[in-house]
Amino acid sequence: MNQRQHTMFYHFDIYRDLTYKEQLLKSKIELMEDLGQELLNFIKSETMNYKGDFVHAINASIEKQEEINALYHEAFRTSMKEQAIRYSEHINDMNGQRLTLYYEVVPMENDLD
């Protein structure tokens, strides 16, 4: 009997594209952005016809904050895309493993003998 071994690469699962996960969070970032815009529009329509009181100063700061938010929303959207690609690759990499197979080589017996 002859003992042998062989090392190979084996995929425990088929390739999975998990980049769709980007969309799950991106849609929420868009909702955050829409809500900010909704508040801004609301304030603008409310204060269109009168000027000069304390509300205006607060409105200006909300408006400024929304401008900053817009930059962050964009950056987060890009990050979410990258994170989804990164995760997808990590999972597919993890599913591929090296194996070592141990087996015996056994001669065939001739039944006619």
Instruction: By CB under 8 A, name the one of 14, 15, 17, 38 that touches other proteins.
Output: 38
Least distance between other proteins and beta carbon 17 (Å)? 14
Q: Is 106 one of the binding residues for other proteins (CB under 8 A)?
A: yes
Identified binder of other proteins from the candidate list 15, 67, 89, 95, rule CB under 8 A: 95
Q: What's the CA gap between 113 and 108, in Å, rounded?
A: 12
113 binds other proteins (CB under 8 A): no
DSSP letters, 4-55, are EEEEEEEESS-----TTHHHHHHHHHHHHHHHHHHHHHHHHHHHTT--SSHH
Q: Give the Å distances, CA to CA, from 51 to 38, 47, 61.
A: 21, 7, 15
Binding site for other proteins (CB under 8 A): 2, 6, 8, 10, 12-13, 21, 24-25, 28, 31-32, 35-36, 38-39, 42-43, 46-47, 50, 52-55, 58-59, 61-62, 65, 69, 72, 76, 79, 82-83, 86-87, 90-91, 94-95, 97-108
